[in-house]
Amino acid sequence: MSGNLACNATNCTHNNSGMCTANSIHVQGANAHSSEYTQCGSFTEMGIKNSLSNVYNMNIGGEVKQSFNNFSGGTGPRIVCDAINCRYNINKDCVANFVHINGVGAISSNRTDCETFKI
Protein backbone atom coordinates (compact mmCIF):
# COMPACT_ATOMS: atom_id res chain seq x y z
CA MET A 1 0.00 0.00 0.00
CA SER A 2 1.21 3.47 -0.76
CA GLY A 3 -1.98 5.26 0.18
CA ASN A 4 -3.22 7.11 3.19
CA LEU A 5 -2.26 6.22 6.71
CA ALA A 6 -3.29 7.94 9.93
CA CYS A 7 -1.63 7.29 13.24
CA ASN A 8 -2.38 8.45 16.76
CA ALA A 9 0.88 7.13 18.26
CA THR A 10 1.95 10.66 19.10
CA ASN A 11 5.08 9.44 20.87
CA CYS A 12 6.46 7.95 17.62
CA THR A 13 9.24 9.80 15.85
CA HIS A 14 7.43 9.24 12.52
CA ASN A 15 4.20 10.90 13.69
CA ASN A 16 3.62 14.44 12.43
CA SER A 17 0.20 15.70 13.50
CA GLY A 18 -1.39 12.29 12.92
CA MET A 19 0.28 11.64 9.58
CA CYS A 20 3.01 9.03 9.27
CA THR A 21 6.26 10.44 7.90
CA ALA A 22 7.94 7.04 7.48
CA ASN A 23 8.81 5.87 4.00
CA SER A 24 7.66 2.37 4.91
CA ILE A 25 6.17 0.66 7.93
CA HIS A 26 5.96 -2.97 8.95
CA VAL A 27 2.74 -4.29 10.50
CA GLN A 28 3.53 -7.34 12.58
CA GLY A 29 1.26 -10.06 13.94
CA ALA A 30 1.58 -13.09 11.70
CA ASN A 31 -1.03 -15.13 13.59
CA ALA A 32 -3.30 -12.23 14.58
CA HIS A 33 -7.06 -12.79 14.58
CA SER A 34 -7.91 -9.24 15.69
CA SER A 35 -6.27 -5.82 15.59
CA GLU A 36 -5.11 -6.04 19.21
CA TYR A 37 -2.64 -8.75 18.18
CA THR A 38 -1.03 -6.59 15.49
CA GLN A 39 1.59 -3.92 16.01
CA CYS A 40 3.55 -1.34 14.06
CA GLY A 41 7.05 -2.76 14.00
CA SER A 42 8.34 0.58 12.67
CA PHE A 43 7.33 2.46 15.83
CA THR A 44 10.28 4.36 17.26
CA GLU A 45 9.91 6.34 20.46
CA MET A 46 10.31 10.08 19.93
CA GLY A 47 13.70 11.57 20.77
CA ILE A 48 16.63 13.18 19.01
CA LYS A 49 18.72 9.99 18.99
CA ASN A 50 15.89 7.91 17.50
CA SER A 51 15.01 10.64 14.99
CA LEU A 52 18.58 10.77 13.72
CA SER A 53 18.99 7.00 13.58
CA ASN A 54 15.73 6.65 11.57
CA VAL A 55 16.32 9.43 9.05
CA TYR A 56 16.78 6.75 6.33
CA ASN A 57 13.06 5.91 6.68
CA MET A 58 11.76 9.46 6.20
CA ASN A 59 9.21 10.06 3.43
CA ILE A 60 10.39 13.60 2.64
CA GLY A 61 8.83 13.72 -0.83
CA GLY A 62 5.50 12.53 0.56
CA GLU A 63 5.60 15.13 3.34
CA VAL A 64 6.18 17.96 0.86
CA LYS A 65 3.43 16.67 -1.44
CA GLN A 66 0.99 16.37 1.50
CA SER A 67 1.63 19.97 2.53
CA PHE A 68 0.60 21.20 -0.92
CA ASN A 69 -2.29 18.75 -1.49
CA ASN A 70 -4.17 19.01 1.81
CA PHE A 71 -2.87 15.64 3.05
CA SER A 72 -4.15 13.55 0.15
CA GLY A 73 -2.90 11.81 -2.92
CA GLY A 74 -1.35 8.48 -2.00
CA THR A 75 1.69 9.90 -0.28
CA GLY A 76 1.68 7.66 2.75
CA PRO A 77 4.24 5.01 3.55
CA ARG A 78 4.51 1.63 1.92
CA ILE A 79 2.98 -0.90 4.30
CA VAL A 80 4.51 -4.34 4.56
CA CYS A 81 2.19 -6.64 6.50
CA ASP A 82 2.84 -9.93 8.25
CA ALA A 83 -0.79 -10.37 9.41
CA ILE A 84 -1.60 -13.26 7.08
CA ASN A 85 -5.20 -13.52 8.31
CA CYS A 86 -6.05 -9.95 7.28
CA ARG A 87 -8.18 -9.55 4.17
CA TYR A 88 -6.04 -6.58 3.07
CA ASN A 89 -2.81 -8.58 3.08
CA ILE A 90 -1.86 -9.66 -0.43
CA ASN A 91 1.57 -11.31 -0.49
CA LYS A 92 2.68 -9.25 2.54
CA ASP A 93 1.54 -6.00 0.91
CA CYS A 94 -1.33 -4.01 2.45
CA VAL A 95 -3.96 -3.16 -0.17
CA ALA A 96 -6.35 -1.21 2.08
CA ASN A 97 -7.29 2.28 0.86
CA PHE A 98 -6.80 3.76 4.30
CA VAL A 99 -4.94 2.43 7.33
CA HIS A 100 -5.26 3.58 10.94
CA ILE A 101 -2.54 2.75 13.45
CA ASN A 102 -3.74 3.12 17.02
CA GLY A 103 -1.10 3.79 19.64
CA VAL A 104 -2.31 6.39 22.12
CA GLY A 105 0.28 6.56 24.88
CA ALA A 106 2.53 3.98 23.20
CA ILE A 107 6.16 3.88 24.28
CA SER A 108 6.96 0.74 22.30
CA SER A 109 5.55 -1.09 19.29
CA ASN A 110 3.75 -3.48 21.66
CA ARG A 111 1.14 -0.79 22.26
CA THR A 112 0.40 -0.04 18.63
CA ASP A 113 -2.41 -1.79 16.73
CA CYS A 114 -3.46 -1.79 13.11
CA GLU A 115 -7.12 -0.84 13.51
CA THR A 116 -7.76 -1.58 9.81
CA PHE A 117 -7.17 -5.32 10.36
CA LYS A 118 -10.13 -7.41 9.17
CA ILE A 119 -10.45 -11.17 8.79
18-30 pLDDT, tens digit per residue, is: 888 888 899 999 9
pTM for the model = 0.77
Higher pLDDT, 98 or 55: 98
pLDDT at 48: 64
Q: Residue ranges of the domains in the chain? A: 4-114
Mean pLDDT, the chain, rounded, equals 82
Phi-psi region of 66 (alpha: psi -120 to 50; beta: other; left: phi over 0): alpha
